[in-house]
Structure 1
């Protein structure tokens, strides 16, 4: 994961996943943040007051943030936490929430530490790709946690093509124009692909397709 984000010109990430139905348990955290900050964050259970985490749990859409963007109402502890984060060098980030059908809430955050002049440009340029990377990471970790049958789903060429174009950020209407078929047919193929993967959303189908090497992410 570290090598992957470096290929996009980024240096720091934090993947956080909370246990289903076990709010008292510490979350799983995978990160490239400095050890000193990770230890301080864990010892103080800052995940319980972190405004970024709170927002990620409550939304499905990726969001960009800065330390200054979090407005009242904030608790005294949250304000102190943000001041401490700023002192540690955390400036801004992009957070991608992930909610799966098992009720597990997770998020991937790409963060600027200190001053990284190209950070915002990299985020703006690669946000769609980073969203897919987050879904792929989460799907892989869930697969390791709860192994699924290794049988490779059998998708038709049209289903694969539709997922491939969707992975590149194309809408159903765009795909219809590219493939010279109706939008209804595109939806038909993507719905079939979702059913074969046993998932609820197109993004999850794309993540499964990437995991099984059925579609190629480029």
Structure 2
């Protein structure tokens, strides 16, 4: 492969195309073009939304080998995937080779080495962090060990960070239905949830907000129904995880 500089106009063109996307099929096409632009073969765009303390919703757009995706899901490799773990707590892009020789618990396979057997020989990932405590990654891979791998990674690092914010924003607009729940929670309900989160009793909250205990209970019950929870404790945890309460919530 002969390396050449990625034209700034290519990045600008991709950004404008992403902004014009109307559905996930359009987003997929943009991801494919980004992948070609940085001389890679495979891409995976994944966002993990916390749904509760024990369950998350995972959104994925990719062209990874079907054999690998099937094995990955069946073996629940997300639980021991170093890229997922890294992306959850970091912001800098990372080359997969960083984790290739990591010592792994014998009960879990080395995901990076396992991926090679399915055609994902080399790759790198860009961590993604979204509103409402979501996170994920934008990954690119090759089916062969390319001698230009370091140069490919460098070129990607110079262009992909400029694209990611537009990708996240328009993907969110296209798939915003699942976030409607947060906007349904009223300002007063959020205030009650925030003070409940601070450990305040119904009586405490009524004094802070200048209303009756019955009114506080009414607001918390409404919030519980909108969040589809069964008690105050679950309502608080889900409100935090999904961003239904985003302090300071007392602003207009």
| TM-score of Structure 1 vs Structure 2, range by shorter chain | 0.5 to 0.7
Q: Distance in 1 between matches of 2:39 and 2:46?
A: 21
Q: C-alpha root-mean-square deviation of aligned residues, in Å?
A: 2.5
Is 1:61 aligned to 2:84, yes or no?
A: no
Conserved? CA contact 1:9–1:122, under 8 Å: yes
Count the aligned residue pairs.
147
- Secondary structure at the counterpart of residue 123 of structure 2: strand
Aligned to 1:110: 140
Structure label with greater radius of gyration: 2
Q: Distance in 2 between matches of 1:8 and 1:85?
A: 20
- Structure 1: 5+ residue stretches without partners: 149-218
Report how far residue 77 of structure 1 moved.
3.8
- Secondary structure at the counterpart of residue 30 of structure 1: strand
Q: Distance in 1 between matches of 2:107 and 2:158?
A: 34
Q: Distance in 2 between matches of 1:81 and 1:122?
A: 22
Aligned to 1:133: 163
Aligned to 1:174: none
Q: Distance in 2 between matches of 1:135 and 1:78?
A: 34
Aligned to 1:24: 55
1:91 and 1:78, CA in 2 relative to 1: closer, same or farther beyond 3 A? farther
Report how far residue 66 of structure 1 moved.
1.1
Q: 36, 42, 63: which is aligned to 1:12?
A: 42
1:67 and 1:41, CA in 2 relative to 1: closer, same or farther beyond 3 A? farther
Q: Deviations for 1:34-79, whole angstroms, at most 9, x for unmatched residues?
A: 111111112222112111111111112222221754523x222443
Report how far residue 26 of structure 1 moved.
5.1
Conserved? CA contact 2:47–2:137, under 8 Å: yes
Taking the TM superposition and a 5 Å limit, the aligned residue runs for 1:65-76 are 65-66=96-97, 69-72=100-103, 74-76=104-106
Conserved? CA contact 2:67–2:118, under 8 Å: no
Q: 39, 63, 68: which is aligned to 2:70?
A: 39
Q: 75, 94, 102: which is aligned to 2:124?
A: 94
Conserved? CA contact 2:92–2:127, under 8 Å: yes
Conserved? CA contact 2:121–2:143, under 8 Å: yes
Conserved? CA contact 2:122–2:142, under 8 Å: yes
- Secondary structure at the counterpart of residue 64 of structure 2: coil
Instruction: Compare relative contact order (CA 8 Å, sep 6+) and give the higher one, 1 or 2.
Output: 2
Aligned to 1:122: 152
Aligned to 2:234: none
TM-score by length of 2: 0.51
Q: Distance in 1 between matches of 2:132 and 2:123?
A: 27
